[in-house]
Structure 1
Amino acid sequence: MHDPIHITALSTSSALGHNRQDVWNSYKSRGHLLTSVDGNWVAQLSDTATKELNTIQQESQYRTLDKTAHLALQCSRAAFKESGWNGDFNFGINIGSSRGATGLFEQYYDDFKQLKKVSPLSSPSTTLGNISSWVAHDLKSRGPVISHSITCSTALHAILNGMAWIKGGLSTKFMAGGAEAPLTPFTIGQMKALKIYSKENGSYPCRALDMTKMQNTMVLSEAAGMVCLEGGQPNHSLGQIIGFGYATEPLAHGASLSSNAQCIQDAMAMALGEFKPDDIDVVITHTPGTIKGDLAEYEAIKSIFKNKVPALTTNKWQVGHSLGASGLLSIEMGLLMLEHQEFLEVPFLDQEPPSKLSKIMVNAVGFGGNAVSLLLSKAQ
């Protein structure tokens, strides 16, 4: 990929924390951040992230919004502050969510069942588009404003779209990411209906990348993340995107993935471009902690990298699966490893850590057989 896209700012909010030092410390703790609530394993925001979010939720103009939008506002403000874009409001925004305003939607529906009427705000406050729209309002952006849902690869698709606008000469700056607040009874119930939710009682409720597990162990988490993207040679860069790939495979069932994850294979091959498989030091996998999903991605990686599989890691064993926002947490994980030159291991794999960290591939895959792979490197 010629002319890499730079990540000039990044902010996330999750069980890991809300600033990169706290996030790195959480990764280094080597313990999971999952808790049991009402008998279900979940990953809730850290105390510091929750405290700041509560302040946003009390702002009068945002009180009627869903937590998904509040999370997007929290991270977009922090990313914008770091970006140095102050005074330049000609930037685009693309924020996605797999589920959208699920908490608020459930609340309005419960009210409708009991009262047989709904609030006039029920429609505008639960549409997917209101997430990016309110962020644009808050930051006073004058660029294009886009929202979308492409299931669990949503955040990486948002980055792809921002890259396309920049490379197409339609915008010089773009904010992209995802927000998800899925810790609601109905959403957890849906995952349980798929028989993929964790019932583990051992040391690790989510066993993502454990190829020996005997049951599904996916755990939902709430999170959001934003990156600021620029082309050219910006004054500051956290890292750069030097390759990208995307693919969709035909499926017999909307919640399934082929045993060799052809869409992930195609996305990784496209992201490699002119690079050799040997050039990749780490793959941050999507692996949600399900038996079939984890194994399919592992088989896809082996198909692409043959007998020289890079070091593999994921953060889902530690922080759960934040659906449409999860790819952004993986991007942050990759950038932190590049910055600290330290590999973050998973407790289930016996593998040799890489001797250097130069190029890291990040995968995301979602229901419907769609996949995205991004290749990260340190800023030059």
Structure 2
Amino acid sequence: MTDFARAAIVIRGRGSVSTLGTAAGAPPPAASPFATRALGAQQVPVGGLPAAEEHQLQTLRRQHPAYRQLDRTVLLGLLAARAARAQAGWLSADEASGEAPAPQLTVSIGSSRGATARFEDFHSSYLAEGNVPAAASPLTTLGNVASWVAFDAGSQGATLSHSSTCSSAFQALGNAVAWLRAGMAQRFLAGGTEAPLTDFTLAQMQALGIYSHFAAEQWPCRPGAGGPNTFVLGEGAAVFALERLTPEALQAERAQHPTAPFLLLEGVGFGFEAIPSKTGLSPDGQHFQRAMREALQQARRQPSEVDALVLHSPGTAAGDAAERRAVQAVFGQQLPACTSNKWLVGHTLGASAALSLNYACELLLGATPAALPFASWLNEHPVRQPLRRIMVNAAGFGGNAASAIVALA
């Protein structure tokens, strides 16, 4: 019997879309990528798509009659999944112009809120007219996200959807790793997607008292800055093409392609803290500590083997401080390099962990982030190349946290 537990989980392809666009490895923009959105009498910063990616999204919507009714969250997932499949070479016969179809895929997608805009539209129509169309329920269930990604990929394998607030994407990736190591699947499309830039969702974030008061052009999301809250809502998606390889098969591939980089997903750990507040967390981030230690245990690594951390760090004073204390508890006072991508993309809720993991992959492949253009303790621990292994953190309302470790083989 094959020892699947010894298998390497290889990232064959990646796709992402966010306020930074879709280009892989692009340098950080010189000016803030955030835009301004009217929310009643207020003007608030948001992380929306650039014009080129917005055009891609609308073009995709018109490609298939059924896609015209899909929520923006689903369409973002389709864009990212297509890019991941293309990079991996997992295209259907039609897409590949006659090539043989790829083996059956399993799909696992996380989203905190799912079909946000469609749900709100249907509810508004119901309040105004007293009825809703028959499609309202199937178009707003959480499973609607993964099932359309599978449909677009031409897959007939299992489709799994996950919702665990802002660590949803890592719930999806953790499930994928478990299935692959158990021998229940050979190839996975896994990641997260979220399109929460609606008036109602923005109003919810405002009601929490965490939204940034900085203008869009002032780099409004400021991870690690301390002081006032600087949360900014964004939209986006990132999906990964994962494949299980035996150690022998991986070694053979590396010998055949000695200069090609191989990205490995070494482990995904989870933590939970049962505290009364479902929007808060303990001062020393107990759930972060459990998730990071479990990820290290899965990967069979010591803290000293981690070269950098991509922090969850959403720019909230309490959350950023708790994560910093948790990192110090696990890694000691001599911390590895620490960074975050939320100052560039905002907090994309259920997609945030996947976008952070994609950012970690870019760093492993040689990208060097610019220093944050504002005072932040993250600038005290700059990223320096070369990097071999990165841990990525995520956490969400409800007391849950997750950590993933990605490395160069």
Q: TM-score range by the shorter chain?
A: over 0.9
Cα offset, 1:358, TM superposition: 1.2
Letter in 1 for 2:190: A
Alpha-carbon distance change, 296 to 228 in structure 1, aligned in 2, over 3 angstroms: same
2:194/2:237 contact within 8 Å kept: yes
Alpha-carbon distance change, 341 to 190 in structure 1, aligned in 2, over 3 angstroms: closer
CA–CA distance in 1 between the matches of 2:158 and 2:198?
31
TM-score by length of 1: 0.94
CA–CA distance in 1 between the matches of 2:83 and 2:279?
34
Say if 2:91 is the partner of 1:77: no
Question: What is the aligned partner in structure 1 of residue 53 from structure 2?
Answer: 49
Question: What is the aligned partner in structure 1 of residue 384 from structure 2?
Answer: 354
2:19/2:33 contact within 8 Å kept: yes
1:360/1:375 contact within 8 Å kept: yes
Deviates more, 1:193-202 or 1:333-342: 193-202
Say if 2:211 is the partner of 1:197: yes
SS in 2 for 1:159: helix
CA–CA distance in 1 between the matches of 2:198 and 2:385?
42
CA–CA distance in 1 between the matches of 2:130 and 2:262?
51
Note the 1:19-34 alignment, pairs <5 A.
19-21=23-25, 24-25=26-27, 27=28, 29-34=29-34
1:313/1:344 contact within 8 Å kept: no
User: Could you tell me which of 212, 230, 233 is aligned with 1:217?
Assistant: 230
Cα offset, 1:97, TM superposition: 0.6
Compute the RMSD of aligned alpha carbons: 1.7
Question: What is the aligned partner in structure 2 of residue 275 from structure 1?
Answer: 301
Cα offset, 1:293, TM superposition: 0.6
Say if 2:292 is the partner of 1:292: no
1:10-38 Cα distance to aligned partner (Å, 9 max, x none): 000111111314xx23x2x3543111111
Letter in 1 for 2:368: E
CA–CA distance in 2 between the matches of 1:89 and 1:140?
10
User: Aligned residues: percent identity?
Assistant: 38
CA–CA distance in 1 between the matches of 2:261 and 2:134?
44
Letter in 2 for 1:221: G
CA–CA distance in 2 between the matches of 1:318 and 1:14?
9
2:364/2:386 contact within 8 Å kept: no
2:308/2:383 contact within 8 Å kept: no
CA–CA distance in 1 between the matches of 2:362 and 2:136?
39
Alpha-carbon distance change, 206 to 159 in structure 1, aligned in 2, over 3 angstroms: same
Question: What is the aligned partner in structure 2 of residue 373 from structure 1?
Answer: 403
Question: What is the aligned partner in structure 2 of residue 159 from structure 1?
Answer: 173
2:74/2:145 contact within 8 Å kept: yes
Question: What is the aligned partner in structure 2 of residue 173 from structure 1?
Answer: 187
CA–CA distance in 2 between the matches of 1:50 and 1:292?
34
User: Could you tell me which of 322, 326, 340 is aligned with 2:352?
Assistant: 326
CA–CA distance in 2 between the matches of 1:244 and 1:104?
32
2:146/2:161 contact within 8 Å kept: yes
Alpha-carbon distance change, 238 to 104 in structure 1, aligned in 2, over 3 angstroms: farther
Deviates more, 1:200-209 or 1:57-66: 200-209
Cα offset, 1:356, TM superposition: 3.2
Question: What is the aligned partner in structure 2 of residue 37 from structure 1?
Answer: 37
SS in 1 for 2:69: coil
Alpha-carbon distance change, 169 to 200 in structure 1, aligned in 2, over 3 angstroms: same
TM-score by length of 2: 0.87
CA–CA distance in 2 between the matches of 1:217 and 1:108?
31
Cα offset, 1:206, TM superposition: 1.0
Say if 2:358 is the partner of 1:309: no
1:256-306 Cα distance to aligned partner (Å, 9 max, x none): 111111010011112222422222111000011111011110110011111
CA–CA distance in 2 between the matches of 1:132 and 1:237?
29
Say if 2:6 is the partner of 1:6: no
Count of aligned pairs between the two proteins: 373
Letter in 1 for 2:328: K
1:186-242 Cα distance to aligned partner (Å, 9 max, x none): 00111111111111248321111213x2x1110001101100111114657651112
1:281/1:354 contact within 8 Å kept: no
1:32-65 Cα distance to aligned partner (Å, 9 max, x none): 3111111111011122211111111123121111
CA–CA distance in 1 between the matches of 2:333 and 2:220?
31
SS in 2 for 1:189: helix
Cα offset, 1:143, TM superposition: 1.2
Alpha-carbon distance change, 271 to 143 in structure 1, aligned in 2, over 3 angstroms: same
Question: What is the aligned partner in structure 2 of residue 248 from structure 1?
Answer: 272
Deviates more, 1:30-39 or 1:58-67: 30-39
Question: What is the aligned partner in structure 1 of residue 96 from structure 2?
Answer: none
CA–CA distance in 1 between the matches of 2:90 and 2:397?
35
List runs of 5+ in structure 2 lacking aligned partners. Answer: 92-100, 254-259
CA–CA distance in 2 between the matches of 1:139 and 1:204?
37
Deviates more, 1:167-176 or 1:199-208: 199-208
CA–CA distance in 2 between the matches of 1:62 and 1:369?
35
Letter in 1 for 2:403: S
Say if 2:250 is the partner of 1:226: no
